[in-house]
Structure 1
């Protein structure tokens, strides 16, 4: 069965976004301009036929800078964008947000230093239910992705150190308790891409599909003015013991020249539609349904 999962990864690449569709800016919707307007994480709040409400988190660090945003897209177009006030002490450098399976309006957000937050969002009112720290990894870890997935009744967390150039990303996974905000034994696996090839962060976000396939975005970030490049890969499979089995050759889903993808989430069980978010630094942030 493991072989069967890995064998379908190229087919996934063929059914998701084709590279030629990613070459133009058509379809990218602005959620703000300037350094503080990027999207570093995204989760679906609700969706209907042509409407999606999403929670966007931002990697801002200073007092007075927005940390979260509620965005509405109608037919792929941003029609509403409402800042959300963060109660209490402000988080620093949020990099991911994920819905809690089976818990309406509850989310987990993760900062780059591994500090996590259990959140509840009602309309535009945010409540922090608790906090945690991911298990200690490498001293150089800088986290940019987080996902949750139930496999045979067990909830697993997957989080990713981004890596940098010659240093590969590291994908971590462990069984996770939301009530206790605690982890069981951690497993890890290194991950690197051949494209982008320079100023590369091998993992800028991670997503797990309904049938346990692992999707990873990678990005080139040479600085605040870019130019940026991104690619998205079907990288492997989350197995029933919580470990991640990588494909020998990750299947590229698409290229995104000119943008730094730091957020993505599936919009259907088959994950044939995804919502992407970018943090294009000085050029601001954008969302796109593909």
Structure 2
């Protein structure tokens, strides 16, 4: 949960610009593209990227983790081109169709299989019993608007409040199960006393009306331990986003966040592969290996490559707190 105000973050960001000439980088990343924000949004600095999902070959839906009391964008379209880099255009939602109102701390997004321009977005969890929602959206790219088709609740295993860090869902992925049903995979980030390790949970997903049905096994989930050179293996976040590629590989980003000014560190690794008809929708690697180690960035978005970056692999997006956020493309793996 973010507790630092945007105003404080802005002044810290300006101070960092005045005090250092070098920016944080990631040695393994190619095809750098500076994140640009739409003039319509006019934020004080580039919005952090909390989740990514591809819309088409060069366009992505982005979620931002603005809190309930903040007026910053919740959703953006990111358009990638080899010439201009990445440009953000904010999306408008006129009605969130829930008594708790607009989202607070969106952290993940995924496409709905077989449904063009339909996506699921999720908040990180509950705050003092409120929020903790999954939204079903349909995009209208011509008007730069999104319509909420349904809202349901995520499982509440541990509430977030001023006394404790509870559920922190940072990744969602949607897959077709046997019999053409849908399964939602939900990634608990880990790194807290309540959940020291990452956990993949899963549920049967119904769209009309939107609902989640967890079995006992799905709610308990599978433990994920991210590979990486962590400063404190009890506090790193084993899951910061999920991405299922066209071959059925499950990729996960993980990160380390010592504070709003960093230094940050992230990895991307193949966690396993999806299966249908088994006791779990995922078979995990026994010893996953990081395919990318990203110094200086807190990767929270992971999505498919862009057609505009010919030599590029997966797209990553970062939420670097007071520094804003960037998008980059990994090497092919």
TM-score range, shorter chain: 0.7 to 0.9
Greater displacement, 73-82 / 25-34: 25-34
Q: Structure 2 CA distance, aligned partners of 1:251 and 1:194? A: 6
Instruction: Show the counterpart of 1:60.
Output: 66
Q: Structure 2 CA distance, aligned partners of 1:35 and 1:164? A: 28
Q: Structure 2 CA distance, aligned partners of 1:285 and 1:137? A: 30
Tell me the TM-score normalized by structure 2.
0.73
* Secondary structure of residue in 1 paired with 2:326: strand
Greater displacement, 146-155 / 273-282: 146-155
Q: How does 1:25-64 map to 2 (within 5 A)?
A: 27-31=32-36, 37-47=47-57, 52-61=58-67, 62-64=69-71
* Secondary structure of residue in 1 paired with 2:322: helix
Residue 106 of structure 1: which of 108, 118, 122 is its match? 118
Question: Rg larger in 1 or in 2?
Answer: 2
Q: Determine if the alignment matches structure 1 residue 263 to structure 2 residue 281.
A: no
* Secondary structure of residue in 2 paired with 1:118: strand
Task: Assess, with a 3 A threshold, how the Cα gap between structure 1 residues 77 and 249 changes in structure 2: closer, same or farther.
Answer: farther
Does 1 or 2 have the higher relative contact order (CA < 8 Å, sep 6+)? 1
Per the TM alignment, residue 78 of structure 1 is displaced from its structure 2 partner at its CA by 2.6
Unaligned runs of at least 5 residues, structure 2: 1-25, 38-42, 96-100, 126-131, 160-165, 307-311
Task: Assess, with a 3 A threshold, how the Cα gap between structure 1 residues 184 and 90 changes in structure 2: closer, same or farther.
Answer: closer
| C-alpha contact 1:68 1:85 (8 A) present in aligned 2 | yes
Greater displacement, 106-115 / 259-268: 259-268
Q: Determine if the alignment matches structure 1 residue 70 to structure 2 residue 103.
A: no
* Secondary structure of residue in 1 paired with 2:32: coil
Residue 234 of structure 1: which of 257, 270, 273 is its match? 270
Per the TM alignment, residue 252 of structure 1 is displaced from its structure 2 partner at its CA by 1.3
Tell me the TM-score normalized by structure 1.
0.83
Q: Structure 2 CA distance, aligned partners of 1:147 and 1:233? A: 16
Task: Assess, with a 3 A threshold, how the Cα gap between structure 1 residues 79 and 273 changes in structure 2: closer, same or farther.
Answer: closer
What is the number of equivalent residue pairs in this alignment?
263
Q: How does 1:114-193 map to 2 (within 5 A)?
A: 114-123=132-141, 124-138=144-158, 140-152=166-178, 153-164=180-191, 167-186=196-215, 187=218, 188-193=221-226
Residue 284 of structure 2: which of 229, 237, 246 is its match? 246
Per the TM alignment, residue 246 of structure 1 is displaced from its structure 2 partner at its CA by 1.4
Q: Structure 2 CA distance, aligned partners of 1:120 and 1:209? A: 22
| C-alpha contact 2:140 2:146 (8 A) present in aligned 1 | yes
* Secondary structure of residue in 2 paired with 1:273: strand
Task: Assess, with a 3 A threshold, how the Cα gap between structure 1 residues 81 and 35 changes in structure 2: closer, same or farther.
Answer: closer
Task: Assess, with a 3 A threshold, how the Cα gap between structure 1 residues 196 and 156 changes in structure 2: closer, same or farther.
Answer: farther
Task: Assess, with a 3 A threshold, how the Cα gap between structure 1 residues 230 and 34 changes in structure 2: closer, same or farther.
Answer: farther
CA RMSD of aligned residues (A): 2.3
Q: How does 1:4-15 map to 2 (within 5 A)?
A: none
